[in-house]
Structure 1
């Protein structure tokens, strides 16, 4: 069987191409073709991990026409308005970005909201607009080249590894026109309410029963039998013993003290504007502790955040804060954002050993809580507004739909004010099993278990 994997960006590389999912495909005698928008150095890195991957075909450059993009954005806004009603959750509107800087994008936003509001009044209108969008995609200039590629490759099945990327829409449209089976994975645990499922597929490979229920609820045109619960390979790296380094070796490499207790502070991307404020709050508290009792902080930024917004704080508190940056490479000469950043396999080693050798993680609602739960380590969620008149109140964040999965569980510890930082850190360091005691139960709700079998599930479902 011939499998075509659509790989539009570095996250797809990290979550799937570095995993044993590729090995499982080869075990089943599948021929794997990578249809990508990646740099040559990223391809080299992938081949180092899986030398048997040898067919890489570049996706032709695709730019949506203004009308096509307007239709896609209008559909997204219409679905967000509908999702608010269906889920009875006003925070869904937060996923609609109004913070555009250029007049052109601001105008697009206004017009998209107008048409999206009209579409939202009838789900039949939404479905018709989905149909119009795909028809418009098939009129794009890039279709001729993609059609030529698809016919030349002649795959038995197409799997999209990033359902949110507009770049993938013409490929899926052509494959469907050619009567080729199309599937997609869902990018992350919080994606479905965001209304960014651009194309429609023959099957959807999801993390959990929870995600399946949500997908069928919010996209009633998708039937239950199309949605396959297979898990994700995102967390597979924790089950590969080759990724683990001895604590002394890992800490020595980065100037950390193996005898000190260690807190990981993990940051979000720039859509979370107050992470530097939170880091500073934690650092101020730690600094006031007696030096021989003071824990050290390992700071891990979000891989796609290459900004300098933490630099001043890291310099001020460098005596006990050590940054270990994710090993993601940026190739600034590439104009396309999807292609310009990708992870090395070494980042798995950094991440796994960060989780293995830190005692707890502190962050603002990050998925890193799940990473730490895999190794039965506690997480503290920051649950206060660090400044007055916050543009993204913490109360909004923890009412996001994906956090409803925590209901009834003691999944994490909560830092509800600056005054609680020290007490919660000490409690968690001293009694880690009492803080977030249900963390593994929460993880089992989020992702199909056992986690180390998900690559097999995905390959089996696809083939």
Structure 2
């Protein structure tokens, strides 16, 4: 029997970005918390549709705004970020520095960049980074813009505060820091598998961390050895739950009716990257379209291009508008203001991956999802044909990033190092899809263990309830 309202713990969920909605509000997390706790949402999203959809599950939805911070705090954090990358100095960190150098040159700020790099090199060691992180926390508290959040938490008196995305949601950092300073147990979800090596230093002093899998658990403790391993919990990520729940899987015919392809013929799923990270990708898609025409197969495969919701080039959109035979660019059903996938998109995306004959992407999380469904995967390590990219933007860098290199070396994906290798990989994937199956399964099982069961949202909810109950 659910506890009475008076006895229920009170949990504040910080929703600092749209994708948190997919992970924790669409999933089982909110439903379970709603039945067993008093829930308040502190959310950057506060339009009428959002309020109507989630108000029945929570006590309050409070708008969350991003406060401007003092310039000197911002500058100190930028230097600390650069120092952190210099200390890590893997392939991702090196590229990050190169990107900053390139931007500084474009903006005519090479002198300022040289000063930042000099200071970052001096600070690129564990003791200094830990000291600067504490300084950031001290300054964020003592130079907070006002006491609105302090008063809010004193009024709400939550037992637990949960930041649903530790990165890409800057509005969520200040309330998490303030709740920690007020002595309220604070939990952070490490949003994605690459974030610990690609997204800089964690400045919020969370009491507890939730991570996808053992590898992230170990990497977190390696980078932040002061964190107690007993306070890091492996829950899986709810974003994959939909792949393992039958109610989110459309039949091939249902999917075809929405996308327009022939359900009786195979299709290849090509997923694009963010345009700024994968420049000239339209050239690769055009090359692939022509290559598919040349394949000597009894059934010509169709091509479904799923564009990236958070940034697609005009050139790529133009290909979609051409209405080429056997090429489909389905509409990506996301709210583009808040970058929230619409609920219907969960089924469409899961079904696209499930029913594909094989998948192609540069170096993406989609590779993992394809491998979960035991689908052949092609990754792209060459620059788009006909492009002339500076070294800092070359596509091969993504393959060699710290988080992705183990995928590329797993044997579960096939990397095309040059355009001429695509044809053989296509033929292998389409005619002998079972060939790398054991390697795909081995890699996925080794990385994710038993978390791919459709119950990550449940695990998150039960972990939060446990922590909230023990904090009372």
- The whole-number CA distance in structure 1 between the counterparts of 2:34 and 2:405 is 38
1:46-445 equivalences under 5 Å are: 46-47=53-54, 51-84=56-89, 89-96=90-97, 97-98=99-100, 100=103, 103=107, 111-120=115-124, 122-164=125-167, 165-194=169-198, 195-270=200-275, 271-289=277-295, 293-316=299-322, 318-331=324-337, 340-386=338-384, 387-391=387-391, 392-406=393-407, 409-435=410-436, 437-445=438-446
- The whole-number CA distance in structure 2 between the counterparts of 1:405 and 1:448 is 16
- The whole-number CA distance in structure 2 between the counterparts of 1:405 and 1:424 is 19
Structural RMSD (CA): 2.5
- Deviation at residue 276 of structure 1 after TM alignment: 1.8
Counterpart of 1:10 in structure 2 is: 18
Asked if the contact 2:66–2:170 (Cα under 8 Å) also holds between the matched residues in 1, the reply is: no
- The whole-number CA distance in structure 1 between the counterparts of 2:123 and 2:248 is 49
- The whole-number CA distance in structure 2 between the counterparts of 1:255 and 1:90 is 41
Asked if the contact 1:61–1:142 (Cα under 8 Å) also holds between the matched residues in 2, the reply is: no
- Deviation at residue 299 of structure 1 after TM alignment: 0.7
Asked if the contact 2:23–2:457 (Cα under 8 Å) also holds between the matched residues in 1, the reply is: no
- The whole-number CA distance in structure 1 between the counterparts of 2:300 and 2:233 is 48
- The whole-number CA distance in structure 1 between the counterparts of 2:61 and 2:302 is 44
CA displacement, residues 248-296 of structure 1 (integer Å, 9 cap, x when unaligned): 2221222211112100000111222142222122112013346973211
Where 2:424 maps in the other structure, the secondary structure is helix
CA displacement, residues 48-100 of structure 1 (integer Å, 9 cap, x when unaligned): xx84235211113312221111111111111111111xxxx344222344254
Change in Cα spacing, 1:277 to 1:407, as seen in structure 2 (3 Å) is closer
- The whole-number CA distance in structure 2 between the counterparts of 1:130 and 1:355 is 41
Asked if the contact 2:16–2:170 (Cα under 8 Å) also holds between the matched residues in 1, the reply is: no
Asked if the contact 2:39–2:60 (Cα under 8 Å) also holds between the matched residues in 1, the reply is: yes
- Deviation at residue 20 of structure 1 after TM alignment: 0.8
Counterpart of 2:45 in structure 1 is: 38
CA displacement, residues 212-249 of structure 1 (integer Å, 9 cap, x when unaligned): 11111112222322222221111001122222222122
Change in Cα spacing, 1:143 to 1:446, as seen in structure 2 (3 Å) is farther
- The whole-number CA distance in structure 1 between the counterparts of 2:234 and 2:270 is 32
Query: Which segments of 5 or more consecutive residues in structure 2 lack a partner in the other structure?
Result: 1-8, 467-472
Asked if the contact 1:230–1:448 (Cα under 8 Å) also holds between the matched residues in 2, the reply is: no
- The whole-number CA distance in structure 1 between the counterparts of 2:144 and 2:108 is 23
- The whole-number CA distance in structure 2 between the counterparts of 1:461 and 1:373 is 28
Query: Which segments of 5 or more consecutive residues in structure 1 lack a partner in the other structure?
Result: 332-339
- The whole-number CA distance in structure 2 between the counterparts of 1:281 and 1:390 is 21
- Deviation at residue 317 of structure 1 after TM alignment: 6.4
- Deviation at residue 152 of structure 1 after TM alignment: 1.5
Change in Cα spacing, 1:435 to 1:416, as seen in structure 2 (3 Å) is farther
Asked if the contact 2:18–2:339 (Cα under 8 Å) also holds between the matched residues in 1, the reply is: yes
- Deviation at residue 103 of structure 1 after TM alignment: 4.7
Asked if the contact 1:184–1:203 (Cα under 8 Å) also holds between the matched residues in 2, the reply is: yes
CA displacement, residues 334-381 of structure 1 (integer Å, 9 cap, x when unaligned): xxxxxx432211110220111122111101011111222222222111
- The whole-number CA distance in structure 2 between the counterparts of 1:241 and 1:227 is 30
- The whole-number CA distance in structure 2 between the counterparts of 1:105 and 1:62 is 27
- Deviation at residue 184 of structure 1 after TM alignment: 0.5
Where 1:298 maps in the other structure, the secondary structure is strand
Q: Aligned pair count?
A: 447
- Deviation at residue 298 of structure 1 after TM alignment: 0.7
- The whole-number CA distance in structure 2 between the counterparts of 1:103 and 1:10 is 31
Instruction: Identify which range, 133-142 or 3-12, moves more after superposition.
Output: 133-142
